[in-house]
Chains A and B, each alone.
Chain A
Amino acid sequence: MIKLNAPLKLKDIRELKIGDQISLSGVIYTARDSAHQKLVDLLKVGIELPFDPEGSVIFYVGPSPAKPGQVIGAAGPTTSYRMDPFVIDLMKVGMKGMIGKGSRSAEVKKGLIEYTGVYFGATGGAAALLAKTITEAEVIAFPELGPEAVRRLVVKDMPLIVVNDCHGGDLYEKGVEDYKK
């Protein structure tokens, strides 16, 4: 298990390779379909993002509502391919890491090499378990989107696996190759 802190540093990213089991702590942001569209729309007209993109990690999640006294409701990853069209624009301004589930496009994988980024897999559906690693949550943009609003999260020891590294590795391809009959 490798301990890692967010925002991410270049030297940490370069050391990561596919299959590494990660325990992530620090500050990350949530965004999914509609929020990505809005973030990229802001960049197009030259408006700053609602968070500092440098080294940032985006978690693809739309949590269930928090009960009174809870930091956040269930918070597992959503399927990542729907965010593929927005990734390069965000990496250009410094976004370094993504947390989701499912495979990425060739364009995203190329972007991870070109801009030195990493894609982490969180276990889809392990939403109660992942929520326990979130110690703070605050909506910082697009509250009108409800579960899809952008949140700033503080996480402690979130269990992740490196699925795509900055060296062109792809665990979905390699893992399946190893077990195919």
Chain B
Amino acid sequence: MRNVDVHEITKIVKRLSIEACIIANDSLVDSFKRSQAKEESAVGKAIFQQLLENVEIARNENTPICQDTGFTVVFMEIGQEVAFTGGLLKDAVNAGVAAGYTEGYLRKSIVKDPITNPVNTGDNTPAILHTDIVAGDKVKITLMPKGGGSENMSRIKMLKPADGVQGIKDFVIETVKNAGGNPCPPIFVGVGVGGTFDYVAYMAKKALLRPIGKRNADPKIAKYEREWLEEVNNLGIGPAGLGGRITAIDLFIEVYPRHIATYPVAVNIQCHANREKTFIL
């Protein structure tokens, strides 16, 4: 067994919270440049220029890329040879989020009881924590601050098996179309297919963590990713929703076996501020 003190986790989560909100990944910046070159609309090109300047200013002035620094979603892959010491893992993650959002001057956007007492918790906790037990003795922590505007445009649907792949595709395109300019295009589209009602939404979110441009390992699914991305971009929504060639920069599909009676599909939309940072302990 390898012992890991949860105070280490707190420190890492704190650092990842601040870095994710302020420093855009190079892969994201590169995708803006490539998309700007492909964009045909003059306004669309100007929007990409603003986005490129924005990530530069954010990095230089230590200011968040976007004021909505999100609901903090933490994915942890925990090697099954790891034993945590010094406290509860969940508490350690939340302590890291609280410290990061407070000391990093990030916006606190979480209210306590959604129905009866919607007062701000004051430190952006609690986080959403997904854990996966894997082989080995490492801990991989990925932190994704997820904005509310794009989350609001995400959808889930329990299709009938008879609806088939056409039904899935129609739902994906329709979801992006209905979202229009609201989720801050150019967007990233995460699609989950299969599993259960809860698991399909988790897959759609996790799909957004895949590196930009990396296709699903299954060539048949990879083909759908390319085709549906093209159809999404044929909608003409464009950067900031003002019309243009690039509505989505990438589209990722994750699949899981399904029940013979069900055909769940989830579409999680991510804004252009596609923020995530990873650390392996």
Point out residues on A near B: beta carbons under 8 Å: 19, 21, 61-67, 70, 73-76, 78-79, 81, 101-103, 121, 123-129, 131-132, 146-147, 159, 161, 163, 171-172, 174-181
Q: Is the CB of A129 within 8 A of B54?
A: yes
Q: Is the CB of A126 within 8 A of B234?
A: no
Q: Is the CB of B65 within 8 A of A121?
A: no
In the bound assembly, the distance between CA atoms of A101 and B69 in angstroms comes to: 17
What would 20 more interface pairs be, CB under 8 Å, given A123-B51, A123-B54, A179-B236?
A: A62-B109, A65-B107, A67-B105, A74-B64, A76-B66, A102-B241, A121-B181, A123-B240, A124-B66, A124-B149, A127-B67, A128-B57, A159-B50, A163-B242, A172-B243, A175-B43, A175-B243, A176-B235, A176-B237, A180-B234
The winner among B43, B241, B271 for most chain A CB atoms within 10 A is B241
Which residues 93-142 of B have a CB within 8 angstroms of A?
105-109, 120
Q: Is the CB of B234 within 8 A of A175?
A: no
Q: Is the CB of B43 within 8 A of A73?
A: no
In the bound assembly, the distance between CA atoms of A176 and B240 in angstroms comes to: 11
Q: Is the CB of A175 within 8 A of B242?
A: yes
Interface of chain B: mostly helix, strand, loop or mixed: loop
CB-defined contacts of A123 to chain B, threshold 8 Å: 47, 50-51, 54, 240
Given contacts A180-B234, A181-B236, contact A128 B271 (CB under 8 A): no
Point out residues on B near A: beta carbons under 8 Å: 40-41, 43, 46-47, 50-51, 53-55, 57-58, 61-69, 105-109, 120, 147, 149, 152, 180-182, 184, 234-238, 240-245, 271-273
* Chain A residue with the shortest CB-CB distance to B153: A79
Q: Is the CB of B62 within 8 A of A67?
A: yes
Q: Is the CB of B66 within 8 A of A171?
A: no
CB within 8 A of A103: which of B61, B109, B181? B181
Q: Is the CB of A175 within 8 A of B238?
A: yes
- Closest CB of chain A to B44's CB: distance in Å? 8
Q: Is the CB of B236 within 8 A of A73?
A: no
CB within 8 A of B43: which of A63, A66, A76, A161? A161
